[in-house]
Every structure is written in C-alpha cells, then in structure tokens.
C-alpha cells in the first residue's frame, strides 16, 4: 500500500533524514521518503508484513506523530505561527548577541584592569543567556538528531555552543577572561536566521498546492428542478447539474448533458488548441468553455476532481525527493561523531602526560569548543544568501536553494512548448490563394466564418482583416458562416503536414478558395537560449501537451531532433519522463499542467508570466529576461557550487590545522577563539567574492561589488 502522510512535529531536515532512515529499515516497508519542507512522508509498505498502526508507533517512538495529510491552508497557518515565534526569537538573539559581541570586542582590543575585564566578561555571558533561550530549539533538535542516529549540523553546533558556554563558565570561575560567549551567540543567531528563511521556503512550497486549488473556480451554478442557485464547488454532490456559461471555467468534473461548444483544456494539458465537445463528452474543473452554454452532470466528489488529483501529484512529486542532505550536512555528520571522541581523547592524553584532572578537563573542553564548526556552519548558508541576492538583482527568485545548487550538475533540460518556447498567441503567417482568387479576398472570406469565435486560430485570422458579417459558428473540425452574398464559407483544418504551422483550407459553397498558415511564434530569445545550452554540453528535450505537428514544428525551428521531442503528454506523463531521465534533469515550464514535472525534476524552473501553481512549485522563477536567463542561472549555480566547495575546504583545513595544537594543549582558549573568528571571516569573505567574480561575457549576470 502506498500513501502520503503528514508528520506532525518535524522540525529540521536532519530530523527528516533520521526518521526516513528509521522507517526504511522497518520490516514490511518498501519505500520511505520524508520531506521536511512539506512535513510529509511518502510510505509504501506490505500490509501482510506490517500495518499502519505499527508504522505510526515507530513514528511516535521517534518523537513525532503520523497523521493524514494537512490541508495546505491548515499547514500554512501552522507555519505562520511558527514564523512568528522564530521572528521573536531571532530579534531577541540579535539584540542580546550584539551586546555580547560588543563586550567581547572590548576584551579583545583593550587593555583593562583584571577586575574590570572580568566583570565585562561576566556581562558578556549575561547577555548571551537570552540568546541561549532563543536558540533552545536548535539545541533540542541536535539532541533529537542524536536520538535518531543521524547527527546533523544542529548537533555539531549544539556541541560547540555547549562546550563554549561550559568552558567560558569555568574560565570565569577561575578568574580568567578568555570567554567564548560571542562565538556561541553568533552561531545560534545565524542558525536562527537560517531557520527563519527555511520556514519561509517551506511555506512557499505549500503555496503550490493552494495555487492548484485556485486554478478552478470556487463557486458553481447548480440547477435543481428548474431553479438555479450558487454554491461552493466543494459542496456540490455527485449527480448535480451544473451550468457552465460561455467564457466561464468549469467547477466540476462530469459528463456534458446539454450543449455543443469548444473548451480550452490548457490548464490540465497545456495544449493551446481548443477541443470540440458535445453531449456525452467529459469536461474537467478548470477547463474554460469558449463558445456556448453547457450543462454538466458532476460525477466526481469534491477533492477527487482531476485538478485536485493534479495537486496531489505535485505533493507526491515533492515527497518523492525525500530528505536529501548536502555536502555541509555530510561533513557535519562526520564531525559530530569525531569531535566528542577527539575531546575525550585529548582529556585522556592530557591525564597520561601527568596533567591534573582539572587541567585535563580544560584541554578536552578547549578541543570541544575550539573545533566548534563556525566556518562549516557558515560555509553553505552564506554562499546561498549571496547567490540569492545576485539572482534577485537580475529579477529572478530562488525558492529552493538546494535544488538551485543541482543546476550546476545538470545534464538534460526538458522544456515545455506553449508559453515557454512560444508566445502562446497564434498569428497568420501565410495565405495561399487558389487560381483566380486574390490574397485579400481569401483572408476576407475566411473572416466571415471566424468572426465572433473565441478560438485562438479564429482570432489570428480576424486580426488581419477585422470582423466580417454577422458571425460564424464552430463545428467539430471547422468554422463556417455566411458572406455578404449569403454564400457558405467554411474554414477547415487540413490533415496535410506543413512545417510552417497549422494549415487551414478555406472553401465557399464547396469550392476551394485557398489555404492559410497559422503558427505560434517562437519567443525571441528561444533560439539563442537553446544554442547557449547546447554549447554548455546540455541535452535538450521538448515535452508538450500540444499535438504532434505544432510541437515538431517548434522543435525543428530550434534544431531539436525528433527523438528528443515528446507531444500530447499529460501532466503525469511529463513527470514520468523527468523521473525516467534520472539525476541531473531540469524542467522548464509555465502552466498548471507543468507543475508535477517541475516538482519531479532535480530543479524545476518557471518562466516569466507562469501560472501561480507553476511559480510556487518551481525551485527557481525567472522574472526578467525570458529564456535567455536560463544559461545565466546555470552559470550562476556553477559559481555557487565552486564557492560552497571552497568554503567547505577552508572550514575543514581550519579544523585540521587547529587540531594538533588543541590536542597538545599548545593553544590557549583565547587564541583558539580568535582563530575560530578568523576562519569565519575567511568564509564570509569568500562568499562575498561571488559577486566580484567576472562572469563570461555572454552570461548576462551583472557583476555586483562585494
């Protein structure tokens, strides 16, 4: 059995990894993916080997609660409350930490009388206590990760902070002023800031599901015994008769009882071409009725509509990613195991060297505090903050930093067609009149059939000549109307393959007047973007919900081979394509129908003007510059990856260089504190260098001064 649950009480990404690992080893569980940002768990288990109560018991023993999935608005409310609490704690940490660090700076830079210096050190510790209160959640999460057997950055920081506070207290009791309160408060304050940003990202992830709900109208017009009344769409029972007027979007999934019309299913399929429907055909919530009134008999419960299932598909794709950890977390896990062992080793070695118990314990505490991973804790967050700043300066939004970092390792880019590569607004590009017919006469005749129709092809024709006659009507595969002489003009879709666009045949009283070619224009920067991506060594694929001919036409214009083109893809099929491609896959899209694929990729990118569901699901949102920004973002991600690696190397080198001095007792606590501060400053400076690096001339990212 496979189900998606919510995990109540999930507080950090490390805890998600620990819970995922614990569930994965339980008998009968085939798949366990715990996703921190959405507080969800995707579980697949053998019901003959284990049951849901047993799984819930395992989750409870880990300190959490397994429950049915929250509605997005409920979880968002919970996160709003959590954001409020985090904001208060961060404010306390910043205000108190400023005083702690200011007093520490006085100790570092000023020669003071011993008594005065001691009282300043005590005051520094006093101001650090509120910071300890504000960061108590981080300390608790560190302990929780230890319980789950998955040491995290929180545990590593907790060890360093605890060691720093204990060592500082011992120093004060001995009359010394070499205290570490400033380092501890800085770590806790920066991690609280990271938690605040992380929670905001988590809240943003939920908006994707809410945006999906908003894609369909909330109010339905229900007809009962000839009477009409308006009611909430989620209250409409199965079997109700729903009126969908021309120009309105359907509120239910059901079967058409009365009416013949055209519907636009782009919200679900992405296909720009409208579809003719008649009694007996199905229509789904979110589809727009373009032509005439329809009466629909609903046949799905609220919450089980196709658009609701699509929202579920997004949640499922997000949950599939599980609890992934980055390089910093990997190193944090190793150091969280190594540092306590080293501190104990240093204590034992000091005692074997003949030092007293008190001095040996001081050596162990110095190791515990001296190896406090300030630089490691700052390495990746500072780079992410700088990269987000640079991206925002270029008009883009990085919603999920970890996914953005995966852009650096991208191998394949899938692109939607309509709205991503093309403008989504067809226009007439050619007219081929028959012998004896002039071009203007051909187009004018076609306008008699297309006037008054809302179909995109009709608008493309009428845009050339203006409206003609009393108006045409739309049938299954043609439009027809009467010209000024009362003759029947018909515009019919041709089966002939034309690489230029959609080919239409115009007849008058059965005689062929000629052909029109209508095409959806490529976006101006599409070709240049494809060339840049190819030069960067990336494989290009196109995945569209549109028909074969227009999709292949666009691919041919961009030089994408047929074997890399996929048409008439449903939202789930697009997501399946992404998953089958494997690691290093990026998806770029703009519609509601693209949301599952955006969630399925290593990095999902929404283009400018994308639907709210696509923007909220995507990891990166292009705000300015169109597709030309895609190569820029990939280069920016590669710069970010290089800088993060450099920062991690700097942090590890610092710890490795400091270790022998700490183990042998040759580094006093005050010098160790200064060395730790220096390492943190080096990481900060390197992160700020990202903006000062000169990108390649064609990258388009504006260089920012550090």
Residue 267, pLDDT score: 59
- Kindly state the average pLDDT of the residues 487-491: 93
Whether 398 has a pLDDT exceeding 90, the answer reads no
- Kindly state the average pLDDT of the residues 340-351: 79
Distance CA 651, CA 645 (A): 10
The residue assigned the tokens 């080096």 is 682
Q: Which domains does the chain have, with CATH numbers?
A: 2-76 (3.30.70.100), 86-197+321-387+640-692 (no CATH), 219-303 (2.70.150.10), 422-522 (3.40.1110.10)
CB 263 within 8 A of CB 283: yes
Whether 237 has a pLDDT exceeding 60, the answer reads yes
Q: What are phi and psi of 353, to 5 degrees?
A: -80, 0
pTM of structure: 0.56
> Is residue 525 exposed (0-12), middle (13-18) or buried (19+ Cβ within 10 Å)?
middle
Number of alpha helices (DSSP H) and beta strands (DSSP E) in the chain: 22, 26
Query: What is the DSSP code (8-state) at residue 546?
Result: S
38 pLDDT tier (thresholds 50, 70, 90)? low
Tell me the pairing of strands 585-589 and 412-415: parallel
Q: Among the listed ranges 215-219, 425-429, 629-633, which one has the minimum average pLDDT value?
A: 215-219
Residue 477, pLDDT score: 65
694 pLDDT tier (thresholds 50, 70, 90)? very low
Proportion of the chain above pLDDT 70, given as a percent: 73
Report the 10 Å Cβ neighbour count for 674. 15
- Kindly state the average pLDDT of the residues 256-271: 73
- Kindly state the average pLDDT of the residues 589-605: 81
CB 557 within 8 A of CB 544: no
Proportion of the chain above pLDDT 90, given as a percent: 11
Angstrom distances, CA of residue 535 to CA of 243, 320, 405, 583: 53, 31, 20, 20
227: helix, strand or coil: strand
439 pLDDT tier (thresholds 50, 70, 90)? very high
- Kindly state the average pLDDT of the residues 23-43: 78
Average pLDDT, the chain: 77
447: helix, strand or coil: helix
Q: What are phi and psi of 102, to 5 degrees?
A: -65, -45
Helices (H), 477-547: 526-535
CB 240 within 8 A of CB 273: no
Residue 422 Cα to chain centre, angstroms: 23
476 pLDDT tier (thresholds 50, 70, 90)? low
Whether 61 has a pLDDT exceeding 70, the answer reads yes
Sheet with 65-68: strands ordered across: 29-35, 40-45, 2-8, 65-68
Whether 459 has a pLDDT exceeding 90, the answer reads no
495 pLDDT tier (thresholds 50, 70, 90)? low
- Kindly state the average pLDDT of the residues 191-212: 63
Q: What are phi and psi of 270, to 5 degrees?
A: 80, -5
CB 183 within 8 A of CB 372: yes
């Amino acid at each position: 059995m496979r189900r998606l649950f919510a995990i109540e009480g999930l507080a950090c990404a490390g805890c998600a990894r620990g819970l995922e690992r614990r569930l994965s080893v339980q008998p009968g569980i085939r798949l366990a993916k715990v996703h921190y940002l959405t507080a969800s768990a995707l579980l697949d288990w053998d019901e003959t080997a284990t049951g849901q109560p047993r799984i819930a018991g395992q989750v409870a023993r880990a300190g959490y609660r397994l429950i049915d999935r929250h509605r997005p608005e409920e979880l968002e409310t919970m996160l709003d409350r959590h954001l409020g609490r985090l904001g208060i704690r961060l404010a306390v940490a910043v205000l108190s930490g400023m005083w702690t660090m200011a007093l520490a700076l006085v100790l570092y830079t000023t020669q003071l009388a011993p008594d005065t210096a001691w009282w300043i050190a005590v005051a520094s510790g006093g101001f650090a206590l509120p910071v300890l209160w504000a960061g108590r959640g981080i300390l608790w999460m560190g302990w929780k990760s230890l319980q789950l057997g998955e040491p995290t950055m929180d545990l590593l920081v907790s060890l360093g902070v605890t060691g720093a506070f204990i060592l500082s207290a011992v120093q004060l009791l001995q009359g010394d002023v070499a205290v570490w309160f400033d380092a501890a408060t800085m770590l806790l304050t920066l991690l609280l800031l990271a938690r605040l940003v992380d929670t905001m990202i988590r809240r943003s992830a939920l908006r994707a599901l809410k945006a999906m709900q908003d894609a369909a109208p909330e109010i339905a017009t229900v007809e009962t015994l000839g009477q009409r009344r308006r009611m909430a769409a989620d209250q409409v029972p199965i079997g109700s008769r729903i009126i969908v007027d021309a120009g309105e979007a359907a509120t239910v999934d059901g079967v058409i009882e009365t009416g013949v019309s055209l519907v636009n299913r782009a919200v679900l399929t992405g296909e720009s071409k409208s579809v003719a429907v008649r009694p007996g055909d199905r229509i789904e919530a979110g589809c727009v009725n373009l032509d005439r009134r329809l009466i629909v008999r609903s046949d799905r419960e609220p919450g089980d509509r196709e658009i609701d299932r699509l929202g579920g598909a997004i949640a499922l794709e997000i949950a599939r990613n599980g609890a992934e950890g980055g390089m910093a977390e990997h190193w944090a896990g190793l150091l969280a195991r190594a540092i306590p062992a080293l501190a104990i080793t240093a204590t034992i070695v000091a005692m074997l060297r003949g030092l007293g118990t008190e001095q040996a314990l001081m050596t162990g505490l110095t190791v515990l505090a001296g190896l406090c991973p300030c630089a490691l804790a700052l390495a990746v967050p500072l780079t992410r903050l700088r990269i987000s700043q640079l991206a925002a300066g270029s008009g883009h939004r990085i919603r999920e930093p970890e996914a953005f970092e995966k852009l650096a390792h991208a191998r394949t880019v899938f692109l939607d067609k309509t709205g991503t590569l093309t403008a989504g607004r067809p226009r007439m590009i050619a007219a081929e009149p028959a012998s004896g017919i002039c071009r203007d006469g051909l187009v004018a005749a076609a306008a008699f059939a297309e006037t008054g129709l809302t179909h995109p092809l009709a608008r493309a024709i009428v845009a050339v000549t203006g409206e003609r006659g009393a108006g045409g009507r739309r049938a299954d595969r043609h439009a027809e109307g009467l010209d000024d002489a009362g003759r029947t003009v018909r515009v019919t879709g041709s089966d002939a393959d034309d690489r230029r666009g959609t080919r239409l045949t115009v007849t008058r009283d059965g005689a062929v007047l000629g052909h029109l070619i209508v095409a959806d224009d490529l976006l101006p920067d599409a070709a240049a973007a494809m060339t840049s991506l190819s030069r960067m060594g990336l494989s290009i694929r196109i995945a569209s919900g549109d028909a074969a001919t227009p999709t292949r036409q666009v691919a041919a214009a961009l030089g994408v081979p047929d074997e890399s083109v996929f048409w008439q893809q449903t939202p789930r099929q697009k997501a399946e394509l992404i998953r089958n491609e494997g690691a290093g896959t990026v998806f770029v899209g703009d519609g509601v129908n693209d949301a599952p694929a955006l969630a399925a990729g290593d990095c999902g990118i929404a283009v400018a003007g994308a639907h709210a569901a696509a923007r909220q699901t995507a990891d990166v949102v292009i705000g300015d510059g169109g597709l030309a920004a895609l190569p820029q973002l990939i280069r920016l991600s590669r710069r970010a990856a290089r800088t993060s690696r450099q920062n991690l190397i700097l942090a590890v080198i610092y710890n490795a260089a400091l270790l022998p001095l700490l183990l042998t007792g040759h580094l006093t606590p005050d010098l160790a504190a200064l060395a730790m501060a220096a390492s943190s400053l080096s990481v900060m400076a390197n992160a700020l260098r990202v903006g000062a690096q000169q990108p390649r001339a064609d990258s388009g990212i504006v260089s920012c001064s550090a």
